[in-house]
Amino acid sequence: MTTVKLEKRSSDYPMLSIMEAWSRIASVLAPLPPVRKSLDCAAGLVLAEDIIARDSMPPFAAASMDGYAVMSSDASLEKSVVGEQDAGIKLDLSVGQGTAVRIMTGAPLPVRADAVIPFEKTEEKEDVVRLQVIPKPGENVRPVGLDMMAGETVLPKGFVLGPAELGLLAALGQFRVLVHPRPRISIMSTGNELVAGDEILKPGQIRDSNSVALSAAATACGFEVVTMSRPVHDDRNKIEQALISSLNDNDMVITSGGVSMGKLDLIKPLLAELGDVLIGRVAMKPGKPLTFAMLQGKPVFGLPGFPVSSLVCFEQFVRPALRLMSGLNLLWRPCVDVCLAEKLQHDPDRTEFQRAIVESGHEEFVAYSTGSQSSGRLKSLVGANALLILSLGMGDFPAGSRVKAFLINQPEIHKTLPIIC
């Protein structure tokens, strides 16, 4: 009998902790170079310049109620009305001892006026007004510069432009601002077994669901996605061609499938040939074969093909990476303590992200598992609002245990990856 020499198949890539994997990603990524954009295209973008107010806002002292403008140092309660000041025009009016000007909200105050008594607290007859209250200095007046003074830095670089910030810029007449653009992303599915959603399945084939799910995950966080219309076959040259053309037009490429140890798992060797592979394995479940490389100065994520693995890797690595490239500094979702409603099994060799529904109980959050945690079972993510973090080195968790969880439907609040990972 001839002896067959068995070769051990082992990965060339070290198994990285989640922390180490993230620090490798963060060390090579930076916010995209700033561009000037008009305000209507700038919502959610990050400012790349300090905004200094050229004018004070409001630029003149104005009434903040409809009423009578008066001089607060004048104690007389009965005054003759010497004119009327509307908003949007500046009349040559002034008040003094015993006089008042009828004034509308937003109108500039007449000379010497420093208070406005609202109509409700007055009586007027034949241009004589009787005040029912004694005016106080500054009452119902918006002083010059209440919102901002000329020369003040109103928005420092790094600020995220939300509705209030955009309103402030519009009020200042600053209609074009320097911002970090959002990265453009290309998503491509790879696998001989895959067909596009509109095709009829032949035996052995499945529909490509990852490109739809990953695009939705990217657009949900505001990114612009170009999805390849058809899955790419497990063919070195076809993958290379798709990869290179996607890289030319985009800031990041995300592939799914083909990163494991099978003979048709071609992504890792191809990325190693064309660029620099920084991550080949991560001690996490799902998502162990996660791959990250830099090619032509741009990041490429090779996500595993199993639908849950690809979405969990997107959530834990791709999304923070996209946020970093957008100039955002809050990268991580809220990480909270939750109490397990039931026992969870856990493999201590890897940090596991179990999908769960977290509800607020009497005094704490309670986590309910979404059932079987197989990485091919997309239903384990359906309706889930949390990823429970079952740490490396720990065994099973009995019901009532407390663990950390990322709330995956909530906006990011952490700058750094919580060390629990």
Binding site for ligand AMP (CB under 6 A): 189, 191, 194, 206, 208-210, 256-260, 304-307
Q: At closest approach, how far in Å is the CB of 190 from Mg ion?
A: 7
Kindly state whether residue 58 participates in binding Mg ion, applying the rule CB under 5 A: no
DSSP classification of residue 77: S
Q: Is the Cβ of residue 85 or residue 291 nearer to ligand AMP in the bound state? A: 291
Q: In DSSP terms, which residues pair with 360 in a beta bridge?
A: 365
Residue 370 in contact with residue 357, Cβ under 8 Å?
Answer: yes
Binder of Mg ion out of 58, 191, 286, 327 (CB under 5 A)? 191
Residue 302 in contact with residue 293, Cβ under 8 Å?
Answer: yes
Q: Give the integer Cα–Cα distance in Å for 322 and 398.
A: 36
Q: Give yes or no for a cis peptide into 286 (omega within 30° of 0).
A: yes
Map residues 258-297 to x or -, x wherever contact with Mg ion holds by CB under 5 A.
x---------------------------------------
Q: How many CB atoms lie within 10 A of CB 59?
A: 12
Map residues 210-249 to x or -, x wherever contact with Mg ion holds by CB under 5 A.
----------------------------------------
Q: At closest approach, how far in Å is the CB of 211 from ligand AMP?
A: 6
Phi, psi of 187 (to 5 degrees): -120, 125
3-state helix vs strand vs coil in the chain, percent to 5:
20, 30, 50
H-helix or E-strand containing 173? none
Kindly state whether residue 135 participates in binding Mg ion, applying the rule CB under 5 A: no
What is the gyration radius of the CA atoms in the chain, in angstroms? 31
Q: At closest approach, how far in Å is the CB of 348 from ligand AMP?
A: 24
Q: Is the Cβ of residue 191 or residue 320 nearer to ligand AMP in the bound state? A: 191
Q: Give yes or no for a cis peptide into 58 (omega within 30° of 0).
A: yes
Q: Give the integer Cα–Cα distance in Å for 133 and 242.
A: 77
Residue 75 in contact with residue 93, Cβ under 8 Å?
Answer: no
> Of these partners, Mg ion, ligand AMP, none, which one is at the site of residue 302 (CB under 5 to 8 Å by kind)?
none
Residues 6+ apart with CB under 8 A from 118: 65, 66, 67, 140
Q: In DSSP terms, which residues pair with 206 in a beta bridge?
A: 194
Binder of Mg ion out of 231, 257, 299, 302 (CB under 5 A)? 257
Give the footprint of Mg ion on residues 91-130 (CB under 5 A): none
Q: Is the Cβ of residue 13 or residue 365 nearer to Mg ion in the bound state? A: 13
> Of these partners, ligand AMP, Mg ion, none, which one is at the site of residue 183 (CB under 5 to 8 Å by kind)?
none
> Of these partners, Mg ion, ligand AMP, none, which one is at the site of residue 291 (CB under 5 to 8 Å by kind)?
none
Q: Is the Cβ of residue 116 or residue 217 nearer to ligand AMP in the bound state? A: 217
> Of these partners, ligand AMP, Mg ion, none, which one is at the site of residue 189 (CB under 5 to 8 Å by kind)?
ligand AMP
> Of these partners, Mg ion, ligand AMP, none, which one is at the site of residue 304 (CB under 5 to 8 Å by kind)?
ligand AMP
The DSSP bridge pattern shows strands 284-285 and 206-207 to be unpaired
Q: Is the Cβ of residue 117 or residue 311 nearer to ligand AMP in the bound state? A: 311
Q: Is the Cβ of residue 275 or residue 305 nearer to Mg ion in the bound state? A: 305
H-helix or E-strand containing 420? none
Q: At closest approach, how far in Å is the CB of 320 from Mg ion?
A: 26
Q: Is the Cβ of residue 193 or residue 412 nearer to Mg ion in the bound state? A: 193
Q: Is the Cβ of residue 181 or residue 287 nearer to ligand AMP in the bound state? A: 287
Residue 291 in contact with residue 302, Cβ under 8 Å?
Answer: yes
Q: Is the Cβ of residue 306 or residue 332 nearer to ligand AMP in the bound state? A: 306
> Of these partners, Mg ion, ligand AMP, none, which one is at the site of residue 194 (CB under 5 to 8 Å by kind)?
ligand AMP
> Of these partners, Mg ion, ligand AMP, none, which one is at the site of residue 205 (CB under 5 to 8 Å by kind)?
none
Q: Which of 101, 31, 106 lies closest to 65 in space, CA to CA?
A: 106
- DSSP characters for 93-117? -B--TTEEEEE-TTPBPPBT--EEE
Q: Which residues bind Mg ion (CB under 5 A)?
A: 191, 257-258, 305
